Amino acid sequence: MSVIVGSDTRLCVSGITGSEGTFHTLNNKRYGTNVVSGVTPGKGGRDVEGIPVFDTFAKAVDETGANTAMIFVPPAFAADSILEAADAGIETIVAITEGIPAHDELRVFTQLRRQGNVRLVGPNCPGVLSPGKANVGIIPAAFFKEGGVGVVSRSGTLTYQIGNEIAQRGFGNSSIVGIGGDPVPGTSFIDVIALFEADPETELIVMAGEIGGDAEERAADYIAEHVTKPVVAYIAGFTAPPGKTMGHAGAIVSGSKGTAAAKAEALEAKGVRVGRTPTQVAEIAVEILRGA
């Protein structure tokens, strides 16, 4: 099995006619993802290498049965594109766009929570890869193979590194989910960990967090109460100076809150093994898998 995307994914890409949208859409299609349509207002009737383009999500869903959206539009238009996809009946939306204003993220988060039937991954994320089934986003899928390790991460590059190091040691991934590092993510660690816990093909969960906020601490509490599978974690930012935003908009430490050390301590107190480097995380994961 897989989580969020898989063999039943029918992908529609908002911003498909832009250079980045076209490039990554075709990469996803070459991987085997069922890309059924794209949306660019004013360019309906065209196609991108055989993929039909529509003016609206409503038209794309009606004519192609799209059930998943990928958002590749500029930050100023991303919120409206996400909400348009949701209004058209799409239940899985992956927002790659970075730099979306925080108040727009909050507006989208609030509206989608009211609707209750839409999963937003991101924004500012690398997307979701279920090896051998579907790739929705910008994750370099060639580095990964099918297996039993589920990865969820706030950082795109850490997602790639940890997943690849696990693959180099002979183990594959059930799904890889980049949730993004913005202050108002549509999907949390807890959301994805719950999916991995319920997925019969996921044997072990790796979570890659970073400084800022309390998402990792809340995940630690959830893991202790609800998760039976082994969880290995990494926290980026052990050497980050306090009070400075590091990389992602959500990666800022205030006083002693949100530090890598505090997050690692919270996770370890709940039985989660925390690696101090991505390589160590992979080594711990493999040790657990080989001992299982």
Query: Where in the sequence numbering do the catalytic residues fall?
Result: 248
Q: Is the peptide bond before 185 cis (omega within 30 degrees of 0)?
A: no
Would you say 258 and 217 are in contact if contact means Cβ atoms under 8 Å apart? Answer: no
Structural element, H or E, at residue 129: strand 127-130
Burial annotation 112-145 (CB, 10 A radius, 16+ → b, else e): beeeeebbbbbbbbbbbbbbbbbbbbbbebebbe
Q: How many CB atoms lie within 10 A of CB 76?
A: 12
CA–CA distances in Å: residue 151 to residues 109, 217, 231: 23, 17, 10
90 near 66, Cβ under 8 Å?
yes
Joined tokens for residue 105: 């993220």
Q: Encoding tokens for residue 33?
A: 């993802």
Contact 105, 123 (CB under 8 A): yes
Amino acid identity of 30?
R
